[in-house]
Amino acid sequence: MYKLDTEAARGAESTGGRIAEKGKYKGKFTRAQHIVAESGTQGIEFDFVATSGQRARFSIYTLKADGKQIYGYKQLMAIMTCLSLRELADPKTVPAKVYDYDAGKEVDTHVPQFPELLGKPIGLLFSMEEYKPGKWRPNMAGAFNADTELVASEILERRGTPAKLAQMVLALRDRPYTGGESAPARAASSGQSGFADVDDDIPF
């Protein structure tokens, strides 16, 4: 009736709470909220719940105010590829649980979200960033298909066997506090180039 699931076995040791160490996680997005920074840079703020019950909240910034693609655009394209999504429609105002800092708890509200990203199995890699002395938070460092463990490039190349994920996990590095801007702040003002164009030969 049962076959050993080693990932589930590991998960029994870390149910609930926040993601607090770098590594590979499978789960789903429970919130994918459209956000706009003061600079006009657009992005998405995610709530992610791992199958082990651990949670992470993180943001990626995709487009500057002038429409220029920045690094988070690549990350979003990787997520969409791993979820077999060809496009995201304009955000829709839908229910969500959002942390209210004044109330000190999550509250039910309505926010602009991308429903296509919600509730579907997704694999993510996280590194940890020390954004203040002694204060750590997860940063998304990669995405992969939760079922096949193929990363975006392997999916687009129609690879049958995952080869890159293990290398990406080994390459994960935590980022100690340096006194400078945090990763989200850097991303919001970054001018890095975007995801390379792909042709119509998409395998989904």
Structure confidence by residue, pLDDT tens digits, 44-73:
999 999 999 999 999 999 999 999 999 999
Asked whether residue 34 is assigned to any structural domain, the reply reads: yes
| Percent of the chain's residues with pLDDT above 90 | 73
Q: 155 in a domain, yes or no?
A: yes
Q: Is 116 within a domain? A: yes
Residue 104: its pLDDT value, please? 82
- Is residue 201, in this structure, part of any structural domain at all? no
Q: Is 111 helix (H, G, I), strand (E, B) or coil?
A: strand
pLDDT higher than threshold 90 for residue 93: yes
Q: Is residue 89 part of a domain?
A: yes
Instruction: Give how many domains the chain has, as a whole number.
Output: 1
Domain boundaries, position 172: 18-189
User: Is residue 9 in a domain?
Assistant: no
| Per-residue pLDDT band at 204 (split at 50, 70, 90) | low
- How far are the Cα atoms of 27, 29, 70, 112, 122 from residue 63, in angstroms, in the given order? 26, 21, 6, 17, 23
The answer as to whether 177 is a domain residue is: yes
